[in-house]
Amino acid sequence: MKKVLLVICMLSVGSLARAQTAPTLGAAASFAVLGSAVTCVGPGVISGDVGATGAFTNTPVCTIAGGTPPATNAAAILAQTALNTAYQNALGPNSNCTLPLLPAAPPASLTLTPGVYCNMGAPGLTFTTKTLTLDAQNNPNAVWVFKIDAGLTGTGFQVVMANGGQPCNVYWLVGADSTFTASTFQGNILAGGPTGSFTSTGGTLIGRVLANGAVSMTGPNVHGTCALVAQGGAGCKTDDDDRDEDHDRDKDRHHKDKDRHGKDKDHRDDDDH
């Protein structure tokens, strides 16, 4: 019996070690776009706060909706520090990669369930006219972590969330440049490497772009949903509501017990009289 229990415990520990861990973004969580310098060439729209520790260039004008476009401020500096911390801290807990490893040029259509997916070394990861489907398997709390040592390139690249998947729960840890052209991308880009920058032309991005280097966008359509939710004091849903439902049931049971106790007491008082 002891041997069986030991095996079960070892399996449980192994499962926990392999589990993907969402980075804690801290002060960077409220930013839709963050970089050492940010350039936006309109027309285009960015929904959410834009932070730059250096210059912020917005000509012709991109519309900043639901956020603020600071050129250089204390909040952006704190956020950049938080990004670097989040990037480094995320590498360790997500060191065990879900097999198979991502090839430099993935197939035209690829479906991945939650996990940690890695692309090691040069030349990085390239999606050209390809569709990546992230299947949450009906778990809205499902997390994906993509570890890319070098650069990430997408041209005509489509990221599709399926079966309850949430873009806020997708994290791309990119060690170098990220470049997108006419792509529909979902998730949080953490370009936290020393040369981590982001460049996009056209397309749509749902999530965040947080870069250690410069960010340059031409004709962007950025839905900073995750950042806007963070500004409201809440994050992506990371827990089911079972505890709340149990709590409500306990409260109802408690009130019923009190009512029953009160009725019993009244009944005893009547008997005494």
List pLDDT tens digits, range 260-269. 544 454 544 5
Categorize the per-residue pLDDT at 230 as very low, low, confident or very high, splitting at 50, 70 and 90: confident
The chain-wide mean pLDDT, for the chain, equals: 82
pLDDT given for residue 70 in this prediction: 62
Structure tokens at 239: 């827990």
**What's the mean pLDDT in 194-219?**
96
Residues 227 and 120 in one domain: yes
pLDDT given for residue 101 in this prediction: 84
- In-domain check, residue 165: yes
Is pLDDT larger for residue 257 or for residue 143?
A: 143
pLDDT given for residue 231 in this prediction: 75
DSSP-based three-state secondary structure for 15: helix
Structure tokens at 216: 């340059």
Q: Are 100 and 84 in contact (CB under 8 A)?
A: no
- Tell me whether residue 85 is exposed, middle or buried, using C-beta atoms within 10 angstroms of its C-beta: 0 to 12, 13 to 18, 19 or more: middle
**What's the mean pLDDT in 238-243?**
36
Find the Cα–Cα–Cα–Cα dihedral 48, 54, 57, 58, rounded to 10°.
Answer: 10
In 3D space, the residue among 144, 146, 184 whose CA is nearest the CA of residue 165 turns out to be: 144
Residues 99 and 141 in one domain: yes
pLDDT given for residue 69 in this prediction: 63
Convert 218-251 to b/e letters by CB count within 10 Å (16 or more is b).
bbbbbbbbbbbbbbeeeebeeeeeeeeeeeeeee
Q: How far apart are CA 166 and CA 183, in angstroms?
A: 18
pLDDT in tens, 7-30: 323 333 333 335 799 999 999 999
Is pLDDT larger for residue 254 or for residue 12?
A: 254
Residues 168 and 253 in one domain: no
Q: Which domain holds residue 271?
A: 242-273
Size of the chain, expressed as the number of residues it contains:
273
Is pLDDT larger for residue 245 or for residue 33?
A: 33
Categorize the per-residue pLDDT at 235 as very low, low, confident or very high, splitting at 50, 70 and 90: very low
pLDDT given for residue 99 in this prediction: 79
Is pLDDT larger for residue 58 or for residue 246?
A: 58
Number of domains within the chain: 2
The pTM of the whole model exceeds 0.85: no
- In-domain check, residue 8: no
169, pLDDT greater than 80: yes
Residues 217 and 104 in one domain: yes
- In-domain check, residue 187: yes
- In-domain check, residue 36: yes
What whole-number percentage of the chain has pLDDT above 70?
Answer: 76
31, pLDDT greater than 80: yes
216, pLDDT greater than 90: yes
pLDDT in tens, 117-156: 999 888 899 999 999 999 999 999 999 999 999 999 999 9
Residues 137 and 263 in one domain: no
pLDDT given for residue 85 in this prediction: 96
Is pLDDT larger for residue 120 or for residue 198?
A: 198
221, pLDDT greater than 90: yes
- In-domain check, residue 74: yes
- In-domain check, residue 272: yes
Residues 81 and 170 in one domain: yes
DSSP secondary structure string, 30-96? TEEEEESSEEEESS-EEESEEEESS-EEESSPPEEESS---SS-HHHHHHHHHHHHHHHHHHTTT-S
Residues 75 and 172 in one domain: yes
Q: Which residue stretches of the chain are H helix?
A: 2-18, 74-91, 225-231, 242-272
- In-domain check, residue 61: yes
